[in-house]
């Protein structure tokens, strides 16, 4: 435990008040990553308007860091051009959250992975 499990204020904020949580029924792109046996499953849904991401929603089964990373990732993506969203990496998500405990860094990886998978799913 100890410092390894200490979260930043931003992590707590996004965990307690997740942004863009929910579903898009007629999503243009969906990306799901993770595995229930590992304790993390992230699903990202995108709606596009021209070359822009007009809406994004997520659903996450996972720890506080996984939920916060998902939420933060959606705020980085919403309203962005698809070409810009493609450049978003786990480092961007982790940086936006301040810092993640080393053992939780994989949670930010998953958020970025789910996003890229959803972008890849766009028609």
Partner 1 sequence: MRIYLDNAATTKVYPEVAKKVNEIFLKSYGNASSLHSVGREARSELVKAREEIAKFVGCDSKEIVFTSGGTESNNLAIRGLAPMNPDKKHIVTSVVEHPSVLETCKYMGKWGYEIDYVGVDSEGIVDVKEVEKLIRDDTLLVSVMHVNNEIGTVQPVEEIGKVCKKKGVYFHTDAVQGFSKVDLDLGNIDLMSVSGHKIGAPKGVGFLYVKNGTKISPILNGGGQENGLRSGTENVPGIVGLATALDVSVDKKKIKKSRDKIIAGLKKIKGVKINGSMKNRVYNNVNVSFYGIEGESLMLMLDKDGIYVSTGSACASTKLKESYVLKAIGAEELYVHGSIRMTLGEDVVGNEDFVVGKIEEKVNKLRKISPFKLELENE
Q: What residues are labeled active site?
A: 38, 107
- Is 36 near partner 1 (CB under 8 A)? yes
- Is 39 near partner 1 (CB under 8 A)? yes
Stretch 48-87 residues interacting with partner 1 (CB under 8 A):
59-67
- Is 17 near partner 1 (CB under 8 A)? no
Q: Which residue of 1, 9, 26, 50 would you call a contact of partner 1, by CB under 8 A?
A: 1
Q: Would you call 65 exposed, middle or buried from its count of C-beta atoms within 10 A (0-12, 13-18, 19+)?
A: buried
**Closest separation in Å from C-beta 59 to partner 1:** 4
- Is 37 near partner 1 (CB under 8 A)? yes
Q: Which residues bind partner 1 (CB under 8 A)?
A: 1, 4-5, 12, 15-16, 18, 21-22, 32, 36-41, 43, 59-67, 103-104, 106
């Amino acid at each position: 435990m100890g410092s390894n499990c200490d979260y930043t204020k931003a992590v707590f904020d996004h965990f307690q008040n997740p942004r863009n949580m929910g579903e898009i029924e007629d999503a243009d792109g969906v990306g799901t990553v993770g595995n229930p046996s590992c304790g993390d499953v992230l699903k990202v849904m995108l709606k596009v308007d021209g070359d822009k991401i007009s809406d994004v929603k997520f659903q996450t089964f996972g720890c506080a860091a996984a939920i916060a990373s998902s939420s933060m990732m959606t705020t980085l993506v919403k309203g962005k051009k698809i070409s810009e969203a493609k450049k978003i990496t786990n480092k961007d998500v982790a940086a936006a959250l301040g810092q993640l405990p080393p053992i939780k860094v994989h949670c930010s990886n998953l958020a970025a992975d789910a996003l890229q998978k959803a972008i890849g799913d766009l028609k």
